[in-house]
Amino acid sequence: MTVALIFIAVLMLGSAATAMVLRNLIHSALLLIASWAGVAAFYLWAGAEFVAFAQVLVYVGAISMVVLFAVLLTRQNLDDRQPAEPASRARALAAVLIGASVAGVITATVLSTSFKPSAAEAPNATVKQIGLDLMESHGATLLIVGVILTVALLGATVIAATDKKSDPEDAQ
């Protein structure tokens, strides 16, 4: 069990760290997609299969496409290497310090807390139970999230759209 968790952790953290460091933007995006797949593997390890498949479908199948399209549409130079600026070194050092200190604080808190003993088996996560929970206890949230998604995607389309007049030769 723990061996699997360590393997998943190495995959997830390793690809995330490499993604944040690389200069080539497309390699970064693809490594991040591997990291998201690692998160889905973690969900499978924890017994939440529905969420794992939803993670793959949404992140690896859809958000990755949006990210890659955005990377390709906003390229400055055609060989994808971002120039390293001198001022960014100080900022990078500051960021690493901040990240390390946040990590230190949270790790210390986690290790010093003792949680109540957990149940031996995963709670009932069958699709039927998830459906009942979504519709009965969290029905309002479901509707609100639906509205949020609609509004967000309409807004994204409006923001990103160009206002070229349509070509008269296009088929109507």
Partner 1 sequence: MSALPPAGSFLERAPLELRDAVVQVLPVPVQWLAHHLITIVAVLAVFGLFFAFTTIAERKLLARLQNRRGPNRTGLPRFSILPWHLKHTLFGLSQPFADAVKALTKEDIVPAAADKLLHFLAPVVVVAFSLMTFAVLPFGRFLIPVDIDAALLYFFAAGSATELAIFMAGWSSRNKYSLLAAMRALAQLISYELPLILSVVPIVLITGTLSTQTIVVAQGNWSFGLLPHWFVFTPWGFAGFIIFLISALAESNRSPFDLPEAESELIAGHLTEYSGFKYALFFMAEYFGLTALSGLGVTLFLGGWQAPCAFLEFIPSYLWFMLKLIGMIVFFIWVRGTLLRLRIDQLTRLSWQFLVPLALINVGNAAFWSLTSGWSGPLQLVRWGVSLAVIVIPFIAMGRTLTAGFAPRTYRYAP
Partner 2 sequence: MTPLHLCLLLSTGLFCIGLTGALARSNTILVLLGIELMLNAANINFIAFWRYGPASASNDGLMFVLFGIAIAAAEAAVGLALIIAVYRHQKNIRLQEATRLKG
Q: Is 61 in the site for partner 1 (CB under 8 A)?
A: yes
User: How far is the C-alpha of 135 from the C-alpha of 129, rounded, in Å?
Assistant: 10
**Least Cβ distance, residue 42 to partner 2 (angstroms):** 6
| Number of amino acids touching partner 1 (CB under 8 A) | 23
- State both tokens at 61: 């199948």
Query: Greatest CA separation found in the chain?
Result: 70
User: How far is the C-alpha of 96 from the C-alpha of 86, rounded, in Å?
Assistant: 16
**24: which strand partners?**
81
Q: Is 24 in the site for partner 2 (CB under 8 A)?
A: no
Residues 69-108 that bind partner 2 (CB under 8 A): 69-71, 73-74, 76, 82, 85, 88, 91-92, 94-96, 98-100, 102-103, 106-107
**Least Cβ distance, residue 98 to partner 1 (angstroms):** 32
Q: Is 170 in the site for partner 1 (CB under 8 A)?
A: yes
Q: Which is nearer to partner 2, 115 or 171 (CB)?
A: 115
Burial class (CB in 10 A: 0-12, 13-18, 19+), 35: buried
User: How far is the C-alpha of 135 from the C-alpha of 71, rounded, in Å?
Assistant: 37
User: How far is the C-alpha of 31 from the C-alpha of 13, rounded, in Å?
Assistant: 11
Our CA dihedral for 161, 69, 35, 107, rounded to 10 degrees, sits at -40
Q: Is 53 in the site for partner 1 (CB under 8 A)?
A: yes
Q: Which is nearer to partner 2, 83 or 168 (CB)?
A: 83
Q: Is 125 in the site for partner 2 (CB under 8 A)?
A: yes
Residues 100-159 that bind partner 1 (CB under 8 A): 126-128
Q: Is 18 in the site for partner 1 (CB under 8 A)?
A: no
Q: Which is nearer to partner 2, 137 or 172 (CB)?
A: 137
